[in-house]
Amino acid sequence: MRFFNYIKKYSDFYLSKYSVTKRKFEDILKQKLKKDFFKKKIPTEDYENFVNQIDDIIDHYNKIGVFNEELIIKNKIQNYLMKGYSLKKVKSYLVKNKFHEELISKELKSLDSNNSLKESLVKRFIEKKIKLSKYKNSELTNSQIFDKLIRSLVQNGFDYEFSKNILHRYLNKC
């Protein structure tokens, strides 16, 4: 019971600020316990008991509906797309956030066939890069700007041929 109160306080605080998956939350609780153990906030004999009771904590929060992973993944994808991330980068962030692989592929499958979405993501990325004024008032030629932008696009997970076509159109407008 002592553990439950100890970790519930931290869990309530953390979950009020962040939306996480069950697996990510389990890792976070384990990190918290390790940190507190090494700072000698909890004794050695209690540490193992606390680690074994993490599943009970996760079950408690699962019963009250905190871990709705389908809703969380949709919100995260929407957020990443608003930031202008490529679909590859979105997938890597979702894997890092410990979503199930089946859920990730299901959600991204519908987006992958949408060429207008891909085009808008590439345009948003290009506009963000150009707004940094790194390229705006520089003395670079169009071909140098093109080379730098295409390199940046590919490094951020965008398809080379698709990005090249959109970048040509974008630079010809300017």
* Cα Rg, the chain, nearest whole Å: 22
| Residue among 128, 172, 117, 116 at smallest CA distance from 146 | 172
User: HEC states along the chain?
Assistant: CHHHHHHHHHHHHHHHHCCCCHHHHHHHHHHHHHHHHHCCCCCHHHHHHHHHCHHHHHHHHHHCCCCCHHHHHHHHHHHHHHCCCCHHHHHHHHHHCCCCHHHHHHHHHHHHCCHHHHHHHHHHHHHHHHHCCCCCCCCCCHHHHHHHHHHHHHHCCCCHHHHHHHHHHHHHHC
Per-residue pLDDT of the chain (174 residues; tens, 9 = 90+): 566 677 888 888 888 898 888 999 999 999 988 898 888 888 887 888 888 888 888 888 889 888 888 888 999 999 998 888 899 999 999 999 889 999 999 988 888 888 888 888 888 888 888 777 666 666 777 788 888 889 989 999 998 998 899 888 887 776
pTM for the full predicted model: 0.74
What pLDDT, in 10s, does the model give residues 7-25?
Answer: 888 888 888 898 888 999 9
Q: Above pLDDT 90, what percent of the chain?
A: 17
